[in-house]
Structures are given as C-alpha cells and as structure tokens.
Amino acid sequence: MSFVLNVEWIVVRSGTPNINRPCQRCGVVKSFGSTGKFRLNANGGQLDAWLIYRCIDCSSRWNRTLFERRPVGDLQPDLLEALQRNDQGLADAFACKLAGVSGSCADTEFGLERRLVSGVCAHADKAVLTLLNPDHVEVRLDKVLAIGLGLSRSNLSNMVTRGALKMPLSAAKALKRRVPEQLVCELDRSAEPYKTVGFEGLLDLSLP
C-alpha cells in the first residue's frame, strides 16, 4: 500500500524586492535595495519625488523616479504627508511596484508558511507538495525548494535527474524560473538517493 503525504507551502514576502542595475562605483551590474526613504524637490508649486536605493555592496545611491512635475494640489494630503515623513509602508509599496515593472528584479527575501494537509511523514513513501505564491514574490523556484527542504541546489538538481522530484512541466527549466502563483510537485522517497533527506523537511519549521 502506498502512503502519500500532502503538504502546502505558501511563499510570503519578508523584504522588498531588489533591482539589478549597473553600479557606477562597482563598475558592474549590482543589486540595489530600497532604503525606505524618499527624496522630494518642490519647485513653483510642482513636486518631484524619488525613492532612494543603495547598492548592497558599496552603498552607492540611486534615486528611482516616482513622479516629476506633479502639481502639489493634485496630490492627496495623506500621500504628501507620508512622503514627507518617509512612511515605511508607502516606501515598501512603491518598491514592490517598481520591481514589477523594472524587468530586472533580483530575488526577494522570503519565508515559507507550511501546512500539513494529510498523511504522516513516517509512513509516507510519496509526498505531494503544493506551492502557493499569492503575492507573486519574485524568487526562483530552485531557491525556494532548496531552502525549504534544507538541500543544496546541486542535490535538488540530482533529485530531478533521478526522478525523486517531479513537476508538471520540464523540471530543469521550471527550477530556474520564478515561482508561479501555484505549482504542484511530487517527491518520491523510493527514488531518493540521499538517506539523510526525509519528508520531515517539508514541515520543518526550523527551516526558513
């Protein structure tokens, strides 16, 4: 008799997305993260606004344009006040929106909420993992699976090769892509060559 473990992971955002762009000081493309602060410039009743980013390696600053020459009277008072006091929630919202249109978004910091749907780890020889990404967190699938299972990416790739990890699409290609809104994959313990890796990792709350 085959025993199946059903587990659900929800990818949750634990930081704002970084943006990859050329860094003048480093001389190569680097990842820039939001500082959570705005730069404002008022001129003749019009306002320019930028969200300030910094290179994660050298701290070089980059100001990402939010809007230019916007009549102050057209701005909602709450928005203007939030910009002036560097409201963290507003800065995070802008950072997520800008990353979505940048086309060069780096992996976002994330966490996993794990839930046992049915089955018992000790008895299962197969596991069905449903991965949900309702907030469209920008992160590669292989990174989520490797961190979630406590494996290296090379071990994860070997699992695919040996048939221990199966997905609806081409696994090799899927692993390198961003996590979709929903993905179901299957883990087969009988094909798993790594004796130290058990299904307990699917529900290990000590892992990120």
pLDDT of 127-178, one tens digit each? 899 999 998 887 889 889 988 888 888 888 888 888 888 887 666 677 888 8
**pLDDT score of 106:** 62
User: For the chain, how many residues are written?
Assistant: 208
Q: How confident is the model at residue 195 (pLDDT cuts 50, 70, 90)?
A: very low
Task: Give pLDDT, residue 178.
Answer: 84
- The CA angle 170-5-142, to the nearest 5 degrees, is 35
pLDDT at res. 79 = 93
User: Who has greater pLDDT, 196 or 158?
Assistant: 158
Question: CA 19, CA 157: separation in Å to the nearest integer?
Answer: 27
Q: What is the pLDDT of residues 55-113, one digit of tens each?
A: 989 999 999 999 999 999 999 999 999 999 999 989 988 888 877 665 555 667 788 89
Question: Exposed, middle or buried, 122 (CB in 10 Å: 0-12/13-18/19+)?
Answer: exposed
Higher pLDDT residue, 161 or 181?
181
What is the structure's pLDDT at 37? 95
Give the CA dihedral 92, 96, 102, 104, nearest 10 degrees. 100
CB atoms within 10 A of CB 106: 19
Task: Look at 183 and 201; give whichever has higher pLDDT.
Answer: 183
Average pLDDT over residues 190-202: 57
d(CA 197, CA 176): 22
Q: How far is CA 147 from CA 76, 79, 128, 196, in A?
A: 42, 38, 17, 15
Q: At what angle do helices 77-84 and 88-102 cross, to 10 degrees?
A: 90
Question: How far, in Å, CA of 130 to CA of 5, rounded?
Answer: 11
**For the residues 183-202, what does the mean pLDDT come to?**
67
pTM of the model: 0.62
Q: Which residues pair with 32 in a beta bridge?
A: 19, 55
Return the domain boundaries, the chain: 4-15+108-203, 19-102
Among 22-26, 92-96, 199-203, which is the least confidently predicted range? 199-203
